[in-house]
Amino acid sequence: MHTPRHPLSYALFAVSLVLASAHVAAAADDPLSSWNDGAAKRAVVDFVQRVTTPGGADFVPEPERIATFDNDGTLWAEQPMYFQLAFAFDRVKGLAPQHPEWKKQEPFKSFLAGDLKGALAGGAKALVQLVMVSHAGVTTAEFEQTVKDWIATARHPRFHRPYTECMYQPMLELLAYLRTNGFKTYIVSGGDVDFMRAWTEQVYGIPPEQVVGSTIKTKFEMRDGKPVLMRLPEVDFIDDKVGKPVGIHKFIGRRPLLAFGNSDGDHQMLKWTAAGRGLRFMGLVYHTDAEREWAYDRTSHVGQLDKALDEATARGWTVVNMQHDWKTIFPPPAGR
């Protein structure tokens, strides 16, 4: 905008400034400005207003306003593969020089030769082997640093931006909106809890103690006179499907008032939330946008959404249609 010279232009300029700031103010006043006006946005706002209105029939005291969010496919993308798996694969490649024996040992041999299909021919066991060597055998502090280093440098293969910029802008707004309204926002994800905690506070504003996830066992040891926690190659807890209500009960000990997922892995969490007394909110992010993100549902290997979609439809849970409900998908790139 250039500064006008004519007196009338000045008046128009002043008016345009007022209008422009009114526009900005309107956008700033809308905490969910990346959401199109529609049923999904209305359902969220209506729910929050009802449970936070003192004296209202649906009022819920602040300590009970627990909101749980799945991570992969709900807060950030999960295609073409779970981002944690991309981390695991990069890590195996990075560790390979220290493990000459992998050249003769499956699934590492195929994997390092670039044959992912061959590597995964061993099924779940092969995958667990790849994940365990990349996630265990180090202290918790070392693992945290490894994740931080990776997440700072790795780029998403399609969007060519850091994975931490592949989260959904409308969901970031929803997290902030809920916190402004006295909710405690939690992640409840099948991902490794320590993989997530290395960056969730910075990226989502969700502190480590509000991240629930899958865990591997750790062991307390004294090393050179200093206590460390060693990460063991042994699964402790899988926070997925029927594990999600178990994880919520174990880590939080309180039933969510609001829960958001995107796949059948979240179905039991949504059922558990819905079964609570009084008003509850159950939401699904439905990936319908092949152009701006991806479109997948009932037959997808990653983030299959089938039974949960049927129950959502039958019970009137909120289904967020990514293509129609979201003005933007990702946040603007950070200044790089």
Binding site for a second copy (CB under 8 A): 63, 66, 140, 184, 193-194, 197, 201, 207-209, 211, 215, 218-220, 226-227, 229, 236, 242-243, 245-246, 249-254, 268, 271-272, 275
Looking at beta carbons only, is 58 or 209 nearer to a second copy? Answer: 209
> 81: number of CA atoms within 13 Å, CB side?
10
Minimum CB–partner distance for residue 263 and a second copy (Å)? 17
H/E segment holding residue 111: helix 108-112
Least distance CB 34 / a second copy (angstroms)? 26
Indicate the angle between helix axes 123-135 and 83-95, nearest 10 degrees.
70
Given the complex with a second copy, which of 107 and 243 has the nearer CB atom? Answer: 243
CA distance 322 to 86: 24
Residue closer to a second copy by CB (options 94, 208) is: 208
CB nearer a second copy, residue 124 or residue 222: 222
Q: Which is nearer to a second copy, 51 or 66 (CB)?
A: 66
Between 41 and 267, name the residue whose CB sits nearer to a second copy.
Answer: 267
Compare residues 156 and 184 and give the one whose CB is closer to a second copy: 184
Question: 3-state DSSP call for residue 36?
Answer: coil
Q: For residue 222, with 0-12 CB atoms within 10 Å meaning exposed, 13-18 middle and 19 or more buried, which class applies?
A: exposed
Classify the C-alpha dihedral 213-216-217-222 as positive or negative.
negative
Q: What is the DSSP letter of 252?
A: I
The DSSP call for residue 332 is P
Neighbouring residues of 302: CB distance < 8 A, sequence distance ≥ 6: 73, 78, 79, 80, 81, 82, 296
Left, alpha or beta for 296 (phi > 0: left; psi -120 to 50: alpha)?
beta
CA distance 236 to 140: 15
Least Cα distance to 177 among 299, 267, 102, 281 occurs for 281
